[in-house]
Structure 1
């Protein structure tokens, strides 16, 4: 009986050992598949990120160019406005002096500039 138990124990250990080996191999194979999939996905993600970065860089370059153009336009408009303000003040001052020198004038002053002439 003891020999039978020994044989049975040996067979049981061999079967259990074989099962664990099979499970280990399956787990190892699945792990290798996952690793290969992750590696493949990593390459795909890297490529996608590179494409996204290139697209974003291109858009940013376009936007920066537009910003630069708008800033140049704004400087031009500000300079033109400053020039017009200076001319307007000079014209108002000339009209005010003329009005002072010609008190009996019949010139109708447009409503849009009446207050401006008084405030000089």
Structure 2
């Protein structure tokens, strides 16, 4: 009986060892698969992020060019407006002097500048 228990114990230990080995191998294989999947996905994400960055950089460069063009246009428009204001004031002053020097002459002053002639 003792020999039978020894054989039975040895068989049970061998089966438990074999099952433990199989279970360990499966766990190791799953871990390697997951590691490979994470690695593959990390590469995919890296590629996606690089593509997104390149696209964003391209768009930003285009927008920056547009901003610079708009700034240049705005500077030009401000200068033109300043020039027109100076010319308008000079024209109003000339009209005012003419009206003062020729009080008997009838000049129809447009409504758009009538108030400006009074306040300048």
Q: TM-score range by the shorter chain?
A: over 0.9
1:81 Cα deviation from its structure 2 partner: 0.5
Structure-1 residue corresponding to 2:89: 89
CA RMSD of aligned residues (A): 1.2
1:10 Cα deviation from its structure 2 partner: 2.2
- Distance, in Å, in 1 between the alignment partners of 2:2 and 2:94 is 131
Unaligned runs of 5+ in 1: none
Unaligned runs of 5+ in 2: none
Moved over 3 A (4+): none
User: Matched residue pairs, number?
Assistant: 120
1:84 Cα deviation from its structure 2 partner: 0.3
TM-score by length of 2: 0.93
Structure-1 residue corresponding to 2:118: 118
TM-score by length of 1: 0.93
Q: Does 1:68 align with 2:68?
A: yes
